[in-house]
């Protein structure tokens, strides 16, 4: 067993000799987490993604590899070297439900246990199963006919996308692992076709692996208890053993047991395919909380502690508060306790606070208070009215829209009933623009101009979205035979009942997310061309192309770049670039909603780059807005840093509200505010008003950072000196020191340019 602490001789503060306060335990666990994180920095280096709370495997079983993450990022990863997956294909890979389930079971059998005597919950995960997939795609399913267009438009096309939808946790909490196994076996007898049988093989292997892994934790906790000298920790370890002995088969009964069950499910998801949708924890845990409180077996302090123990091991996305189907607010005590848990921890957790007409305004007020006191970019804010009303515009009843739960970076999904590939498909507007621009300039039969450019841009944008449609159909045709959603299938309505993977007809709704990225880059480029080339005639189209080809080198290169950059930009308010921003967002929305995929799957547009705007920028040469070759494209729907001298958050909020696609998927506003803004309650109230007004104008989500300029600059110089500085990078929060230099630069630029 891996143990977080030496089991004996733990130094104590004098006040805790007679036991530990919950805060002492949280502090201790936080220190352990910092140690894990620092170790990760040493071994893995930078991590430009969520802090998934992964723990490194023991030193002697580590194998370091380069892999592609679930979101398409290349990263360094650490594998358990003992585990070698069994291939079922000449390529050396393993594909399909049975192979995936069985290999995963084998991995679980080798996966070390993790019991921290200070925590109330057992379990921790150390490896990403997807990093063993090599090749990740089954070469029998050939999509080389799409390659050329994927390359041409630099599409993040979604073929091979995993997870990014949300389970219904109540299924698991009601059935327990034993009940889930029974359910699989019952339906195995009903759905006897090959596809179903294969899926059941995979699901059953996964559940058996999980049960076995939990059982090993029971032993580990008992062993630890046997040698633990502190009576309180010993008791805690024994409790963990007892709880988990039951949870191998039975559903949870108490709040602590429910937290433990939820943690098992979540870390298995992380391990299997980096899944991490928590959804509305304050709703599905509420019955346990309420019952335990009523029976006097749980205090709020203890509830906060269990939630904190969960967050320490799983930083997944969760929504606090929000409406039920009828629109009535469901904010409850747990919503506040979860916020409190995040506040006590001050680590990157991804809690989102609901804000809406009918929603308890106390929650957003408390959220803003915590935001300013912790300065960790936590929580984020969710405009639940615009997302649910927007979703209804896809032809669904609004009641369904209200059920969509915030459960990922910028996204929501109906728990257990909707397959979405959220955040996996990105149309790089800058790349599409570049194709259109070059095509126009090289066409000698026409007179170039922004009107002509706009026509061509639309044509290529339509084409790129058509390619996305084809790609998504291809994905849905094949994914279940490559790497099915075994983990999420377990807690969805349909996959087990129908014998179909969620990616292949297992669930009720298919609403595939297609995001645009690089909006400001393109809006500013259009406006710069219109002003400098067309109206002021300061340079010709060919000359411009020369500068682009040379990345603004040459005698007048830098000056010309500045000239193109220095125009009233998107976000400044009332500018031509603002108008282009709106026009492009509407065009994108119209083209996405024009038709479903050829196989009939509906698409939902959003505007979000995730942190991949750096990656996507590397794919695009210089753009007419004065951007250098390979520099990041603009972030989400945000204006570029420096868009206004006063960097007014209201100006940003107005601009971003005006480009919302409006179909329930988001275009999140990213704001960096100086801590000086709200030293008192009056200042904080203004921030609450800022948030609410953005949502009233149609905004969908807000990611906020409270960072002071000096701290971030110092941390940028020497990140190691600020190991626990947490920033909101985009939809996710992370330790600043964990980020790559490039990603840190992006965060710094946003903050410093806005001074």
Partner 1 sequence: MNSSGVVFNIQRFSIHDGPGIRSTVFLKGCSMRCFWCHNPEGRHFQPELRYFPGRCIACGACVEACPNHAHELREGVHTFFREYCLVSGECVQTCYPGALELNGRQMSVDEVLEEVLRDRPFYESSHGGVTLSGGEPALAGVFAREILERCHAGGIHTAIETCGDSPWHSLEALLPWTDLVIMDIKLISPEKHLRATGRPNDRILANARNLAQTDKPLLFRTPIVPTVNDDPEEFIRIASFLKSLIDTRASGNNQESDAGGIAFELLPFHRLASDKYASLGMEYSAASLDPPTKSTMCALAEIATTLGVTTRIR
- In angstroms, give the least distance from the CB of 744 to partner 1: 23
Contacts of 538 (CB under 8 A, 6+ apart): 532, 563
**Alpha-helix runs per DSSP H in 375-505:** 384-392, 398-403, 429-442, 450-482, 486-490, 495-498
* Cα radius of gyration rounded to whole Å, the chain: 26
Phi and psi torsions of 322, nearest 5°: 115, 165
Contact 461, 519 (CB under 8 A): no
Q: Checking DSSP bridges between strand 277-279 and strand 114-115, what pairing results, if any?
A: unpaired
d(CA 188, CA 589): 42
3-state helix, strand, coil in the chain (%, to 5): 50, 10, 35
Nearest distance from residue 568's CB to partner 1, in Å? Answer: 12
Residues contributing to the site for partner 1 (CB under 8 A): 556, 558-559, 562-563, 565-566, 573-574, 644-646, 648-651, 653-654, 677, 683, 685-686, 689-690, 692-693, 696-697
Smaller CB separation from partner 1, 56 or 648: 648
Question: Nearest approach, Cβ of 620 to partner 1 (angstroms)?
Answer: 23
Task: In angstroms, give the least distance from the CB of 654 to partner 1.
Answer: 6
Cβ pair 679, 343 in contact under 8 A: no
CB of 619 to partner 1, least distance (A): 27
| Shortest spacing between CB 658 and partner 1, in angstroms | 11
Nearer to partner 1, 49 or 671 (CB): 671
Give CA–CA dist 358/373, Å, rounded.
Answer: 26
Please report how close the Cβ of residue 678 comes to partner 1 at its closest, in angstroms.
Answer: 8
Residue closer to partner 1 by CB (options 237, 355) is 355
- DSSP H or E run through 515: strand 509-517
Q: For the CB of residue 749, give the shortest distance to partner 1 in the complex, in Å.
A: 16
- The span from the CA of 410 to the CA of 664, in Å, is 11
In the bound state with partner 1, the residue whose beta carbon lies nearer, of 451 and 562, is: 562
What are 147's two structure tokens?
């390659």
Q: How far is CA 8 from CA 216, 224, 500, in A?
A: 22, 10, 50
Torsion angle, alpha carbons of 136, 517, 77, 488, to 10 = -60
Per the CB < 8 A criterion, the answer to whether 117 and 5 are in contact is yes
176: Cβ contacts below 8 Å, ≥ 6 apart: 247, 249, 250, 251, 252, 261
Shortest CB 160 distance to partner 1, Å: 43
Query: What does each C-alpha distance from 501 to 179, 393, 412, 598 come to in angstroms?
Result: 19, 27, 20, 21
Nearest residue to 398 via CA among 384, 411, 418, 409: 384
Structure tokens at 561: 């770049």
Q: How far is the CB of 576 from partner 1 (least distance, A)?
A: 15
Backbone angles phi, psi at 184, to 5 degrees: -60, -45
Collapsing DSSP states into helix, strand and coil, what is residue 159? coil
H helices of 9-85, where?
A: 22-43
Tell the smallest beta-carbon distance from residue 731 to partner 1 (Å): 23
> What secondary structure letter does DSSP report for 16?
G
Which H or E run contains 670?
A: strand 669-673
The H or E element that residue 335 is part of is helix 333-345
Nearer to partner 1, 679 or 721 (CB): 679
Tell the smallest beta-carbon distance from residue 739 to partner 1 (Å).
Answer: 28
> 574 or 741, CB closer to partner 1?
574
Q: Which is nearest to 271 in space by CA: 42, 108, 97?
A: 108
Q: Residue for token digits 């002697």?
A: 60
The nearest distance, CB 563 to partner 1, in angstroms, is 4
């Amino acid at each position: 067993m891996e143990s977080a602490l030496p089991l004996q001789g733990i130094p104590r503060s004098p006040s805790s000799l007679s036991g530990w306060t919950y805060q002492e335990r949280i502090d201790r666990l936080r220190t352990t987490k910092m140690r894990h994180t620092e170790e990760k920095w040493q071994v893995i280096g930078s991590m430009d993604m969520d802090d998934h709370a992964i723990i490194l495997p023991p030193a002697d079983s580590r194998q370091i590899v380069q892999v592609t993450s679930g979101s398409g990022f290349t990263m360094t990863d650490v594998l358990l070297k003992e585990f070698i997956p069994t291939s079922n294909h000449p390529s050396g890979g393993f594909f399909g439900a049975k192979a995936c389930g069985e290999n995963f079971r084998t991995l679980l059998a080798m996966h070390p246990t993790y019991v921290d005597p200070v925590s109330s919950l057992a379990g921790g995960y150390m490896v990403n199963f997807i990093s063993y997939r090599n090749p990740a795609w089954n070469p029998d399913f050939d999509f080389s006919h799409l390659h050329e267009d994927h390359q041409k438009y630099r599409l993040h096309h979604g073929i091979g996308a995993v997870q990014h939808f949300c389970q219904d946790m109540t299924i698991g909490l009601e059935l327990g692992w034993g009940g889930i196994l029974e359910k699989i076996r019952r339906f195995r007898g009903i759905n006897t076709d090959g596809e179903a049988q294969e899926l059941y093989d995979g699901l059953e292997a996964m559940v058996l692996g999980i049960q076995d892994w939990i059982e090993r934790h029971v032993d580990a906790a008992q062993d630890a208890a046997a040698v633990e000298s502190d009576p309180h920790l010993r008791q805690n370890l024994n409790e963990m053993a007892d709880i988990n002995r039951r949870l191998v088969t039975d559903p949870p009964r108490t709040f602590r047991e429910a937290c433990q069950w939820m943690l098992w499910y979540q870390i298995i998801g992380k391990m299997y395919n980096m899944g991490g949708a928590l959804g509305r924890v304050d709703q599905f845990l509420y019955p346990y909380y309420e019952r335990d409180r009523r029976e006097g077996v749980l205090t709020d302090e203890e509830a906060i502690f269990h939630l904190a123990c969960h967050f320490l091991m799983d930083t997944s996305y969760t929504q606090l508060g929000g409406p039920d189907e009828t629109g009535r607010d469901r904010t409850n005590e747990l919503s506040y306790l979860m916020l409190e848990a995040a506040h006590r921890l001050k680590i990157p957790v991804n809690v989102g606070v609901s804000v809406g007409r009918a929603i308890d305004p106390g929650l957003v007020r408390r959220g803003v208070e915590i935001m300013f006191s912790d300065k960790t970019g936590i929580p984020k804010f969710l405009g639940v009215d615009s997302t649910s009303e927007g979703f209804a515009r896809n032809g669904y009843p609004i009641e369904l829209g209200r059920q969509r739960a915030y459960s990922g970076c910028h996204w929501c999904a109906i728990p257990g009933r909707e397959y979405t590939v959220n955040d996996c498909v990105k149309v790089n507007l800058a790349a599409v623009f570049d194709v259109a621009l070059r095509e126009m300039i090289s066409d000698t039969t026409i007179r170039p101009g922004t009107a002509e450019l706009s026509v061509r841009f639309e044509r290529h944008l339509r084409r790129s979205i058509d390619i996305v449609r084809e790609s998504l159909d291809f994905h849905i045709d094949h994914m279940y035979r490559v790497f099915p959603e075994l983990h999420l299938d377990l807690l969805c309505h349909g996959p087990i009942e129908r014998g179909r993977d969620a990616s292949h007809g297992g669930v009720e709704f298919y609403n595939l997310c297609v995001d645009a990225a690089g909006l400001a880059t393109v809006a500013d480029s259009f406006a710069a061309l219109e002003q400098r080339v067309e109206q002021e005639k300061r340079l010709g189209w060919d000359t411009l192309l020369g500068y682009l080809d040379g990345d603004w080198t040459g005698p007048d290169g830098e000056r010309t770049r500045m000239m193109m950059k220095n125009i009233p930009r998107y976000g400044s308010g009332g500018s031509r670039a603002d108008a282009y921003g709106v026009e492009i967002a509407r065009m994108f929305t119209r083209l996405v909603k024009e038709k479903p995929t050829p196989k009939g799957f509906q698409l939902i547009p959003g505007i979000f780059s995730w942190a991949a705007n750096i990656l996507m920028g590397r794919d695009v040469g210089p753009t007419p807005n004065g951007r250098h070759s390979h520099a990041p494209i603009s972030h989400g729907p945000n204006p570029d840093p420096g868009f206004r001298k006063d960097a007014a958050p209201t100006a940003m909020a107005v601009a971003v509200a005006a480009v919302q696609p409006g179909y329930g998927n988001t275009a999140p506003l990213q704001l960096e505010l100086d801590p000086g803004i709200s030293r008192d309650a009056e200042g904080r109230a203004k921030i609450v008003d800022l948030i609410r007004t953005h949502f009233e104008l149609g905004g969908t989500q807000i990611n906020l950072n409270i960072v002071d300029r000096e701290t971030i600059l110092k941390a940028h110089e020497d990140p190691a000196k600020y190991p626990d500085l947490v920033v909101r990078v985009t939809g996710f929060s992370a330790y600043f020191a964990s980020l790559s230099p490039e990603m840190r630069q992006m965060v710094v630029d946003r903050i410093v340019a806005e001074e």
